[in-house]
Amino acid sequence: MSTKTPMTLRGAEALREELRYRKSELRPKIIASVEEARAHGDLKENAEYHAAREQHGFNEGRIGEMEAKLSNAQIIDPAGLPKTGKVMFSTTVELVDADSGEELRYQIVGEDEADIKNGLISVNSPIARALIGKTEGDVAQVQTPRGIRELEVVKVSYL
């Protein structure tokens, strides 16, 4: 029995596109390079052959990993969520740091989609865990390496 892994619609589409690329474009190129290297003769000392086989193994492993993730994905479209005003998976949250006044904007996404530089934080991150269930005006306390950080929820969006 496997548990479903939350993933945004955008994250699932990106994973499907990478899977399509790896299967229909990259796999044939790698197979062709394995065949070409095999044609060079003695496989024991054929570095091109071994490199191509290693690349093939990595690609096939990544394909299997992506297929497993997609088969266990619970795809959540934020536009289809009930507009309760609460922070939840896939919502976008605008925050203000109570101490510094810094304004922050994050979307809470699945583990594999997280990209802090683009404002995408993992649902399993300390910030996301502190924010889940909060509404506008609430203050979330987040334990950081520099101590407790207080973040006020300014706005919750379902984009």
pTM of the entire predicted model: 0.80
Q: Which two tokens stand for residue 35?
A: 């065949």
Angle (deg, nearest 10), helices 47-71 and 27-38: 160
**122 φ/ψ angles, rounded to the nearest 5 degrees:** -65, 140
DSSP 61-110: HHHHHHHHHHHTEEEE-GGGS---SB--TT-EEEEEETTT--EEEEEEE-
In the prediction, which pLDDT does 102 show? 94
In the prediction, which pLDDT does 2 show? 59
In the prediction, which pLDDT does 103 show? 96
Q: What does DSSP assign to residue 118?
A: G
pLDDT digit string (tens) for the chain, length 159 residues: 557 889 999 999 999 999 999 999 999 999 999 898 888 877 777 888 889 999 999 999 999 999 999 999 999 988 888 889 999 999 999 999 998 999 999 999 999 899 999 999 999 999 999 999 999 999 999 998 888 999 999 999 998
